[in-house]
Chain A
Amino acid sequence: MTNHDPIETSLERLSEAVSLRAEEKAAGRERLVAFMEQGRKPVPSPYAWLFGPGVRVAAGMLLVVVIGGGGIVSAAEGSRPGDTLYVVKLKVTEPARTALILDKEKRTKFKVERADKRLKEFAVAAAAENPDPETTALIAESLADSIKDVSDEVATLTATGDAGEALATNAGLQSLLEAHSEVLDAIEEKNPSASEDVAAISVSVDSGIAATENVERSLVDALEPALTSDEPVAERAVEAEVSIAELLQQIETESAAIDVADRENIAQRLGEINEIVAEAWELREAGDRKGAYLLYTEANQRLSELKTRVEADRDLGIGVADEESL
């Protein structure tokens, strides 16, 4: 297509920026050929073919997962509640990915993110409509598994004397669950017909919060002997500074989607968090590692909660950044 209108030319140029990478295209081709060779047809239920009589299909699908070098895996990873491949993501690809992460710290982080992802996926589904019971059960199961996995990691860290890291991990999970607990309440208000589904997920969230609160109490006592150097405190301090910067950037770039009152509320909360960070810095300067560590951890917790609420407000429009909820 040729023309001389600058806008038309610019639009055409824009298309040059969006194309499949060669390896993506090749993987897609491979997947398509495998699909055609098997003569399979998509089935409406995500579970029927995996657990029901269509075991042959499931076996074929899993075979593709194993030998396809990421074809279906890639498609499954982008799936959402209600999608055919969602069950594959929760039952196959994510556990497999977790098992492949050798670094303990990264693995734990991935598990926390997994819980976060599950809750966000549920929130999007439940805010708009009622997820089907199987999907809710699947999400609840995956969430409970993630919470248990993270709790186990926290217990291991505590047992091996790394109370600082255990406390930070526990706090990360706790803040995540607390923020999502608020989001779930807001979803229930917005879509009362999803209350049963929300209740099913809230059970896991509430028990997770209770468990993290118990662990927190025991860890605070074990913290002081574990802080033999300033390094863990410095790590928490950097984490807080980075989180504040990221949140500020996020708010700036999405300012159009956040109303003025919410922006002011968020700014006020960020101011409070900054005060906590400043106090932590003073304690750290004075040599009170435990006090500083606890305050930095609290700042990180509050930042995590604020971030979750801002995102939920943006994605679901449920007003969780409102003054009352903050």
Chain B
Amino acid sequence: MGRRISEKEFIRAYDELADDIFRFCAFQVRDRERARDLMQDAFMRTWVYIEGGNEIDNLKAFLYKTARNLSINEAVRSKARSLEELQETVGYDPADDTLETPENLAEASILLRHLSALPEDAQEVLTLRYMNGLAVKEIGEILGAAPNTVSVRIHRALEELRKRMHA
């Protein structure tokens, strides 16, 4: 059942989820600036929806869904980004300095290369599960799929990634 979200609650949601939504968008569009704009847009559009008197059951899932729709539009509009752009987005602006060791950068680079070669839906479930740390049930809500289906997709995506990593 949906409920009204207060202004205070919404700002708190921004504080808690802005990084996650940004990260999700970044892996979708592979462009730091665009991801930042999409994250912002997702929050603004969600607030407009709330202001319109609508109720939301799960704000986190709603924000992800909005960000996902915006990212899909963006991805359709712009050409897929190169691997180098993805690496630029992912590998050279670490929040954690320890990731910047040559070994870690090399590992991240290899992983990204294989990850970006996977089908888009596989990339998406892996992003939501591991990069965003969401539970299977939450991913199901965002994608509109049953938890079992999500689990199978994650499993297959991981297997495919493993195969590519070890090939």
- In the assembly, what is the distance between CA of A29 and CA of B132, in Å? 20
- In chain A between 170 and 193, which residues have their CB closer than 8 angstroms to a CB of chain B? none
Q: Given A8-B158, A28-B14, does the pair A79, B95 have CB atoms closer than 8 Å? A: no
Contacts of A152 in B (CB 8 A): none
Name the distance in Å between B85's Cβ and chain A's nearest Cβ.
10
Q: Are A78 and B36 in contact (CB under 8 A)?
A: yes
Q: Given A14-B111, A32-B44, does the pair A7, B132 have CB atoms closer than 8 Å? A: no
Contacts of B82 in A (CB 8 A): 253-254, 257, 314
Q: Given A12-B130, A36-B7, does the pair A17, B91 have CB atoms closer than 8 Å? A: yes
- In the assembly, what is the distance between CA of A168 and CA of B133, in Å? 53
Contacts of A32 in B (CB 8 A): 11, 14, 40, 43-44, 47
Q: Does A16 make an interface contact (CB < 8 A)?
A: yes
Name the distance in Å between B116's Cβ and chain A's nearest Cβ.
11
> Chain B: which residue is nearest A77 at the CB level?
B33
What are the interface flags for B126-167 relative to A under an 8 Å C-beta threshold, 1 for contact and 0 otherwise? 100111110000000000000000000000001001100100
Q: Are B95 and A19 in contact (CB under 8 A)?
A: yes
Contacts of A77 in B (CB 8 A): 33
- Dominant SS among interface residues on chain A: helix
Q: Does B112 make an interface contact (CB < 8 A)?
A: yes
> Chain A: which residue is nearest B132 at the CB level?
A15
- Give B residues with C-beta under 8 Å from A: 7, 10-11, 14-15, 18-19, 22-23, 26-27, 33-34, 36-37, 39-41, 43-45, 47-48, 51, 77-79, 82, 84, 89-91, 93-96, 99, 104, 107-108, 111-112, 115, 126, 129-133, 158, 161-162, 165
Can you spell out 21 A-B residue pairs with CB atoms less than 8 angstroms apart? A7-B161, A7-B165, A10-B111, A11-B126, A13-B99, A14-B108, A14-B111, A15-B23, A15-B132, A17-B96, A28-B18, A28-B43, A32-B14, A32-B47, A36-B47, A39-B51, A74-B36, A75-B40, A78-B34, A124-B79, A317-B79
- Give A residues with C-beta under 8 Å from B: 1, 5, 7-8, 10-21, 24-25, 28-29, 31-33, 35-36, 39, 41-42, 74-75, 77-80, 82, 124, 128, 253-254, 257, 314-317
Q: Which 9 A-B pairs have the closest CB atoms?
A: A11-B130, A15-B131, A19-B95, A78-B33, A17-B94, A16-B96, A18-B23, A78-B37, A41-B48
